[in-house]
C-alpha cells in the first residue's frame, strides 16, 4: 500500500455485514473516494454484530467475499479487525483505534441509507459524531436494505436536528440492491449478475452459501 499512515489526511471508514458485499456497496465507496477526495478507505466486515436480528454467515466467508468485491478499487484496504475482536463490535471502538493509527487524518464514516436511518440507536453515537464526519448515501438515491434491518417502509428512528444537520450526503445513482434479496436468489442458485461482482458470485456458488437461508 503506497499510503503510509502519516501520509493519509482523509480516511474513509465503511463497515457492514457484507453478507454478501454487493455492487451498491462498491458504488458507495467509489462515490466517497471521488466526492470527499479520500486518501484511503478501510472497509470493515462486521464481527459479532450486536444489532443483527439474524445469524451472519461465517466471518471467513464474508471477509473473503469483501476482498473479492473491492480488489479492483484503488485506495481501499479490507480491514479484518472487527472480525478478530472478541465480544460485541462497536464502530466507536474502531474509530478510536484508527484515530491512534492515523493521528494526522480526518476520519469520514461512510454509511448506506439504512445505516444512516438507524444511527440514533448506535452505541455512543455522540462520540462517533465527535470523532468522525458522518457521510451517508442520499436519502432518496441509494439502496434501502444496506444492513437488512428495514422490513417496514418506515423504519427510521427519531434523529436529533443537530445530528441530522451534520450528516453529509453522498450523491449516488439509484441502486435497489438488497443483501436479503441476493441471499434469496442464491438459495435457489439463480443468477446474481448485476447485483454482485462476478468473483463474488462464483464464490457464493462454489461455497454453496445461503442455501439454507
Domains, the chain, ordered by start: 8-176 (3.40.50.620)
Does residue 142 register a pLDDT over 60? no
Task: Name the percent of the chain in helix, strand, coil, to the closest 5.
Answer: 40, 15, 45
Contact yes or no for 195/22 (Cβ under 8 A): yes
Of the pLDDT bands very low, low, confident and very high (cuts 50, 70, 90), residue 150 is very low
* Residue-wise pLDDT tens digits, 79-108: 999 999 988 889 999 999 999 999 999 999
* Distance (Å, whole) CA 57 – CA 162: 36
Please name the residue that has the C-alpha cell 454482485: 196
3-state secondary structure at position 15: strand
On the question of pLDDT at 113 being above 90, the answer is no
- Give mean pLDDT, residues 172-188: 88
Residue among 97, 87, 70 at smallest CA distance from 16:
70
When pLDDT is cut at 50, 70 and 90, the band that residue 146 belongs to is very low
Round the average pLDDT of the chain to a whole number and report it: 86
The residue that leads in pLDDT, 177 or 101, is 101
- Mean pLDDT score, 164-185: 86
Amino acid at each position: 500500500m503506497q499510503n503510509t499512515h502519516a501520509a493519509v489526511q482523509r480516511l474513509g471508514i465503511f463497515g457492514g455485514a457484507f453478507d454478501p458485499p454487493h455492487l451498491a456497496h462498491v458504488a458507495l465507496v467509489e462515490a466517497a473516494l471521488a466526492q470527499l477526495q479520500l486518501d484511503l478507505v478501510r472497509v470493515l466486515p462486521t464481527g459479532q454484530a450486536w444489532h443483527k436480528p439474524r445469524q451472519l454467515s461465517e466471518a471467513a466467508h464474508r471477509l473473503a467475499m469483501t476482498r473479492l468485491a473491492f480488489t479492483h478499487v484503488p485506495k481501499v484496504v479490507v480491514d479484518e479487525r472487527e472480525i478478530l475482536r472478541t465480544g460485541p463490535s462497536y464502530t466507536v471502538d474502531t474509530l478510536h483505534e484508527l484515530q491512534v493509527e492515523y493521528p494526522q487524518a480526518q476520519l469520514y464514516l461512510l454509511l448506506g441509507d439504512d445505516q444512516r436511518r438507524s444511527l440514533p440507536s448506535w452505541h455512543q453515537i455522540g462520540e462517533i459524531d465527535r470523532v468522525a464526519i458522518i457521510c451517508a448515501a442520499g436519502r432518496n438515491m441509494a439502496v434501502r436494505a444496506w444492513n437488512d434491518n428495514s422490513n417496514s417502509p418506515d423504519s427510521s428512528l427519531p434523529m436529533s436536528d443537530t445530528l441530522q444537520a451534520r450528516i453529509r450526503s453522498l450523491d449516488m445513482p439509484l441502486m435497489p440492491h438488497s443483501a436479503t434479496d441476493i441471499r434469496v436468489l442464491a438459495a435457489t442458485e439463480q443468477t446474481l449478475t448485476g447485483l454482485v461482482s462476478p468473483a463474488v458470485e462464483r464464490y457464493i456458488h462454489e461455497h454453496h452459501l445461503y442455501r439454507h437461508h
